[in-house]
Amino acid sequence: MARKKRIAIIMGRIYKKINKNLISGMLEQAKALGYSAFIFALNEECDNKKITHGEKNLFHALDFSLIDGVVYAPYTFCSYDYYGYIDNFLAENCPKPIVRVGLENGQFAPVWYNDRSEIAEITLHLIYGHNCKKLLCLTGPAEMPVAENRAKGFIDAIRKAGLDDSADNVIYGDFWLAAAKKLADEIAGHIREMPDAVVCTNDTMALALCDALTELGYSVPNDIRVTGYDGITETRMHVPSITTYRTSQEMLGRRSVCLLYEQITGEHCEPVRSDSGVILCRESCGCDTRYEREEPYDNDRRLTEEGYMDCMISAAFHDAETLDELVDEMMTMRYKFMYNDKYAESRLFLCLCSDWDNVGSEYRRDGYSDTMYLIGTDGSRCNFRLDEILPEALDTTDFSATFFLPVHFQDQCYGYIALDLQENIDNFNMEYIKYCREVNNALKYLSTKNELKRLLYRQSVSLSRDELTGLYVFENCRNMWAEIRDSSIENHEQLYMVAVTAGGIRHIKNKYGSVESDKCIMVIADILSKSCRSREWLFKAADRSFVIIGSGRRPEKRADEYIKKIDEKMWKHTITGAENHILYARSESMIVEDTAALTAYDVAEIIEGMLRSIDERAKKQLSSLIHYSELLKLRRDIFVHPERSWSGDICSRKLSISKSYFYKIYSQTFGVNFIDDLQKSRLNCAKNLLTSTTLLLPDIAERCGYDYYNFMRVFKKEFGMTPTQYRKNAQ
């Protein structure tokens, strides 16, 4: 079978709207010309050298024999450290045609949009639309072709209008913040004559200039009009909103692929569609924006973003004990970043090196193993050669766009992850980037846990264990006490004890038999064991009781965290388990004040006293167990749907009990009163919406079950700041 026609696309930060528009145009044109695409991107761009090293490994997977050419957009990466490396990598290794999106000179074929005429157009808008006579142009570095080209557009407009075209009117800056602040200071200090307007050749400088002028007491646009260029989202949200020029990234993408096609075949081709950018006239130039249409917000996208925030992906991933369990969780959770109508058409593949779980000084830092292991959402499990990038057997005859991200933890190389889409590139979004970062962390966590398990197993083989659960028998605490005590003293840590008794076991044994009750004991033991951390010892006590002894710098916090975690896992198992068993735990904790003076017998007596206290407390709470499963379902509904009209009357009617009795058993069961729990669920929902969406405050209030004014009052009382301040701090 002939090799599929395919190009490679190398881009950074594809989740940004402006970059997603660019790649949309590329893929549209590639499909029209009969080419599929491999897209190579990064999932974390930062200054950490180990992380940078791990990210760059991705390009070792790029086999140029599988592609016909490369389109490369260097400016989409955040720093020269990345695109400088890619420049050199392509120059040294790629024998195929390369199109470089940008005006920079070099050995690659350049392509760019006509920003010269577009800057001229926005300048003429200020001249003829607002009667500006004295204009300045703030552009990028003088040695940068893009900055020079945009400055020429400004001069073109000035000359066309017959105004002063002095070179002093063009200010070369940095395409960033410092140049804008410097210009504002020069105007305020009368070093530079105050202009009617400043044409900034990118939006970042326009935003910074507006803020700097405002801080210095100038009004935009009343004193000085300011415009930007690029059309980024922040310009619409800024106060005042920034007049800018939204470039046609889609058209630039189409032209880049057309140029690559000419480089590959020697034949000329025209873009499949033609469009141009548009001026967005807003407040900063003095235009009326009351009738500006806001961009529609896609409901599927909003639900995906909220769904990602609502779920505990990291907790689910970190609970995995084996690679298969982790991959099962990965595949289960992938709907959290995929939009509903595109779910079935997308495939996800995790490709791991053969030595991905090596630890210590032996872990892989450079490149990938010759043989890779693939696990896919479609059930695929296979080994394949690295030079295939993906197994040939998984390829399709249809058009596809496959996005590759590196999988690593700092400089430890695990492999890469491939998201195979058709035309649904919206599934490569911010949630997917977060999802992949969670995969990176989970693989590191799993490999470390595996190594710790090996060490712990060797340490514990000589100790007697409970036959059913495999845990240490409580009596061994007497023999191990000296080791536990000495360890806490050596590390200057304080000891804490947590006693746990499993509830509902007797009921399960009476109703379903001893086999089922034993299974539940094993489930609870497993939950407790997975909740333990280093320097924590778990013991089996009586028939259905357990004890944990641990040490730490903040013992109260850790004991509370442990109890909270097992409660959450018990609740999750009860809700999601296939059986109708209701599992719950009663707990009690204690901080040891004088560790050195405590003997092993003292510890045994203390723990036995804690277990007795739990049993006595349980006798007072038996009434709530009658409604336990109904309470669990009710609480889940409250947290999932905080916008509904919940009240004590409504909830008590659902359980067919009185309101006062409902309040009592709710508090007994969950350790928090109903009103506080309801408010907590609504405020948690509000915080998520404030940090993950751009919804207006009245809309957020409605989604959380509040009217607007009550929402503002409750939020400020709870968190000491307004919702707007909270959103600003989070940003």
What residue spans define the domains of the chain? 6-112+251-281+289-295, 115-246, 300-453, 463-620, 629-730
Say if residue 427's pLDDT is above 50. yes
Q: Which of 490-504, 567-581, 673-687, 717-731 has the lowest mean pLDDT?
A: 567-581
Q: Are 506 and 628 in contact (CB under 8 A)?
A: no
Say if residue 632's pLDDT is above 80. no
Confidence band for 309, pLDDT divided at 50, 70 and 90: very low
708-719 vs 723-730: helix axis angle to the nearest 10? 60
What is the predicted pLDDT for the residue at 139? 96
659-670 vs 648-655: helix axis angle to the nearest 10? 90
Say if residue 458's pLDDT is above 60. no
334 vs 67, 445, 455, CA distance in Å? 28, 20, 33
Highest mean pLDDT among 358-367, 385-394, 506-515: 385-394
Can 6-112+251-281+289-295 and 115-246 be said to share one CATH topology?
yes
What is the predicted pLDDT for the residue at 579? 63
Q: How far apart are CA 665 and CA 100, in angstroms?
A: 67
Average pLDDT for residues 277-305, to the nearest whole number? 67
Average pLDDT for residues 537-542, to the nearest whole number? 83
Q: How far apart are CA 59 and CA 315, in angstroms?
A: 31
Confidence band for 504, pLDDT divided at 50, 70 and 90: low
Percent of the chain with pLDDT over 90: 27
Say if residue 452's pLDDT is above 90. no
What CATH code is assigned to 463-620?
Answer: 3.30.70.270
115-246 belongs to CATH 3.40.50.2300? yes
Say if residue 624's pLDDT is above 60. no
Residue 542, SS3?
coil
Confidence band for 119, pLDDT divided at 50, 70 and 90: very high
What is the predicted pLDDT for the residue at 215? 95
Say if residue 199's pLDDT is above 90. yes
Q: How is residue 474 annotated by DSSP? A: T
Confidence band for 134, pLDDT divided at 50, 70 and 90: very high
Token pair for residue 568? Answer: 């959450």
Beta bridge partners of residue 548, listed in sequence order: 498, 538
What CATH code is assigned to 300-453?
Answer: 3.30.450
Say if residue 209's pLDDT is above 60. yes
Q: Are 652 and 662 in contact (CB under 8 A)?
A: yes
Q: What angle do CA 80, 83, 87 make, to 5 degrees?
A: 120
Q: How far apart are CA 560 and CA 550, in angstroms?
A: 12
pLDDT averaged over every residue in the chain: 83
Q: How far apart are CA 219 and CA 247, in angstroms?
A: 27
Average pLDDT for residues 225-249, to the nearest whole number? 91
More confident residue, 133 or 445: 133
Percent of the chain with pLDDT over 70: 87
- 672-728 pLDDT, tens digit each: 789 988 888 888 888 888 988 889 999 999 989 988 889 999 999 888 899 999 998
Q: Are 502 and 566 in contact (CB under 8 A)?
A: no
Residue 197: φ, ψ to 5°: -155, 155
Q: What is the CA radius of gyration of the chain?
A: 31
Token pair for residue 171? Answer: 């200010």
Residue 201: φ, ψ to 5°: -90, 10
Say if residue 303's pLDDT is above 50. no
> How many beta carbons lie within 10 A of that of residue 326, not counting itself?
22
What is the predicted pLDDT for the residue at 334? 72
Confidence band for 520, pLDDT divided at 50, 70 and 90: confident
Q: Are 346 and 360 in contact (CB under 8 A)?
A: no
Say if residue 300's pLDDT is above 50. no
More confident residue, 462 or 718: 718
User: Which CATH code of 3.40.50.970, 1.10.10.60, 1.10.1050.10, 1.10.3470.10 fits the domain covering 629-730?
Assistant: 1.10.10.60
The amino acid sitting at 574 is T
Confidence band for 620, pLDDT divided at 50, 70 and 90: low
More confident residue, 212 or 670: 212
Q: How far apart are CA 149 and CA 110, in angstroms?
A: 14
Say if residue 55's pLDDT is above 90. no
Q: Which of 94-103, 142-151, 339-348 has the lowest mean pLDDT?
A: 339-348
Residue 45: φ, ψ to 5°: -110, 115
Q: How far apart are CA 535 and CA 488, in angstroms?
A: 8
Say if residue 302's pLDDT is above 50. no
| Domain at 6-112+251-281+289-295, CATH class | alpha beta
What is the predicted pLDDT for the residue at 307? 44
Element (H, E) at 538: strand 536-540
Q: How far apart are CA 571 and CA 639, in angstroms?
A: 13
The amino acid sitting at 673 is N
Q: How far apart are CA 348 and CA 377, in angstroms?
A: 6
Residue 646, SS3?
coil
Average pLDDT for residues 331-350, to the nearest whole number? 69
More confident residue, 658 or 553: 658
Token pair for residue 161? Answer: 């209008």
Confidence band for 397, pLDDT divided at 50, 70 and 90: confident
Confidence band for 277, pLDDT divided at 50, 70 and 90: confident
Confidence band for 571, pLDDT divided at 50, 70 and 90: low
| Cβ contacts of 467 within 8 Å, gap of 6 or more | none
552 vs 315, 406, 484, 493, 547, CA distance in Å? 22, 36, 12, 5, 17
Beta bridge partners of residue 37, listed in sequence order: 7, 401
